[in-house]
Structure 1
């Protein structure tokens, strides 16, 4: 593959920065040499160039390398231009066709799920949510998909700042029960809103999370009377396929 590309040194530089990026602490020249199929002299030459450009930093005391702050600037620019709505649209439209139900896409802002997109089928039912509107995290499928991946500290902070009010008779309002539910969600890889956010509406949610970053979440929403065990398993199957396809193009 690399022989067909121009500038193999760039590919080697990518291998080096990728290795540094996946490690929790700065790495030494020896660690890079031991783990990459690149000679130590070549690694050193590339590191010196990367350091000159600001892509890596070398600790003068330990001699170990970490990523440079230039990536913060690049990352901010990517975030400004990143449009999860447009990126996911073809996959969520396909999911809508496969399930013949409403598909929602959301992100988190200020402890609420903000609805970015809603794709409706010919037999969609009217949902309370509207594009640009918000819904509670603890009661919605998308919200619980996000909460399931919160650190213990972040989840505790969320629970301290948000009262779990009952929206339907099925809404989980006990923080301990919610935490138990979130553990199940993380284990299963999908969330369920069993008529917890809106009366008579059942939802299955999937998070779009890669490299410890949550980009968004989507859900399949349907009237409860149309969802039996067979239909639920079909939702999960097609939802997981859409999730995987989207994650593959997130890089």
Structure 2
């Protein structure tokens, strides 16, 4: 059961997060529709314990105690561990092998994997590195990173053909990325390994940065037969994991 005072404290933190100049008790009360008398008691208690600070104009801002707590949380943060339940669920639901990858020096590094015995063997193992231009995970990064970051990575690419389906040049890749951005996920259609079809989605953190991607891979014929299911489950998992990492989509 939700505790009203705890919820109010959390709403105050969230409001002050987006208010760099601080807010008065009146400002906070009006924006959150709280009674000023009860709000000031919360603000004073939070300030006394270091979670807020108040300036000479009685404007409240986030306090130093939150910095230390955030540093501890960051030091314990392990995206691989947090993603594992999602990968397991996807593997069991889709019946295919699932991966988590991050971007490192212009390449994809696989940091988690949930293997399905039904799928074809793949040489993508935890710790291995793969190109960004011909893997689902890599194309997800190129599609959903800020445009300038994606452009910088693409400028350093050296296109090598792994199969007859491997994308050959920047122009062909740009056309793919434009489509991927519209649909919300990226595809590797037998570009890194023959017969292997992969779908990947982005994962964001609380700073609205793309920090990882998750993918599912399997034999093309089997994957195409259930593409709608795969896309739906992968998009849902990517959004839910992102929310767990603190991401909140900005309203336009």
Following TM superposition, by how much is the alpha carbon of 1:192 offset from its aligned partner in structure 2, in angstroms? 0.7
Match of 1:126 among 121, 141, 144: 121
Following TM superposition, by how much is the alpha carbon of 1:92 offset from its aligned partner in structure 2, in angstroms? 2.0
| Partner residue in 1 for 2:79 | 84
CA offsets, 1:164-200, max 9 Å, x none? 4443333334334434433432331211111222233
| Partner residue in 2 for 1:117 | 112
Does the alignment pair 1:136 with 2:131? yes
Structure 1 residues 159 and 74, CA gap change in structure 2 (3 angstroms): farther
TM-score, normalised via structure 2 length: 0.78
Structure 1: 5+ residue stretches without partners: none
| Partner residue in 1 for 2:16 | 20
Deviation beyond 6 Å, 4+ runs, structure 1: none
Distance, in Å, in 1 between the alignment partners of 2:185 and 2:157 is 23
Following TM superposition, by how much is the alpha carbon of 1:245 offset from its aligned partner in structure 2, in angstroms? 4.7
SS at match of 1:202: strand
Distance, in Å, in 1 between the alignment partners of 2:165 and 2:30 is 55
SS at match of 1:148: helix
Distance, in Å, in 1 between the alignment partners of 2:183 and 2:59 is 39
Following TM superposition, by how much is the alpha carbon of 1:87 offset from its aligned partner in structure 2, in angstroms? 2.8
Structure 1 residues 244 and 169, CA gap change in structure 2 (3 angstroms): same
Structure 1 residues 70 and 152, CA gap change in structure 2 (3 angstroms): farther
Distance, in Å, in 2 between the alignment partners of 1:119 and 1:148 is 24
Match of 1:227 among 213, 223, 227: 223
Structure 2: 5+ residue stretches without partners: 247-252
Following TM superposition, by how much is the alpha carbon of 1:221 offset from its aligned partner in structure 2, in angstroms? 0.6
| Partner residue in 2 for 1:38 | 34
Q: Give the aligned CA root-mean-square deviation in angstroms.
A: 3.1
Distance, in Å, in 2 between the alignment partners of 1:143 and 1:57 is 43
SS at match of 2:150: helix
Structure 1 residues 25 and 179, CA gap change in structure 2 (3 angstroms): farther
Following TM superposition, by how much is the alpha carbon of 1:236 offset from its aligned partner in structure 2, in angstroms? 1.3
Distance, in Å, in 1 between the alignment partners of 2:66 and 2:180 is 33
TM-score, normalised via structure 1 length: 0.79
